[in-house]
Amino acid sequence: MENNEDKKLTNEEVTPQAAQPNVSGAEAPESVWADGVPANIKEEDKLTTQQMIAMAVKYISEQVIVQKGFKIEPGFPRMANPNIVCQKDGKTYAIIVFPSVYPQFVGLSDDFRKKFVEMVKKNGGIALFAPVGYRSTDEERAKAGLALKGDVFRVTFPGFLELGEEEHLDYTTIKPEDYFRP
């Protein structure tokens, strides 16, 4: 996809935190894992869904929203939906952030999406979906779809998708020009 924001992130703590993009002269983050897929992976070695969401919300808040001049409303970001409510140019945006681990893509169910859009519109806002993709920089772990604590990830954010009231949203048909890039 064109115009993807592509950054390397690392998660060195139990609570994931996005590393700042590498600046010239700074060392690139390194994984705590040896190359390849570890032989005896335990569940506690994997990032949980909540950790992935926290990492994605932090990334969208700090690397996209604030960088593009949006004002984040008090009480946000948060883990509940919407994850972020912000304003820019007199418009209010309610953002739901969903992380996916390569090669999977996670979209919103039609029922959940419709309820979210209805709730946001009742409050005078614009509903946005922020898909954030994580892929281990280790090719074998990436192919295995692993998101391990302490690993380094390539993060892809194609842009926001404005959500509407359509009956069914087929995420496989979305084109780069369909994304909202502030």
| pTM assigned to the model | 0.82
Q: Which amino acid is at 24?
A: S
CATH class, range 5-18+44-178: alpha beta
Q: How far is CA 181 from the centre of its chain?
A: 14
How many other C-beta atoms are found inside a 10 Å radius of the C-beta of residue 108? Answer: 21
Q: Which amino acid is at 57?
A: V
User: What pLDDT does 4 receive?
Assistant: 39
Model pLDDT for residues 142-152, shown as the tens digit of each residue: 999 999 999 99
Q: For residues 163 and 2, give the distance between their C-alpha atoms in angstroms, rounded to a whole number.
A: 21
Q: Which amino acid is at 84?
A: I
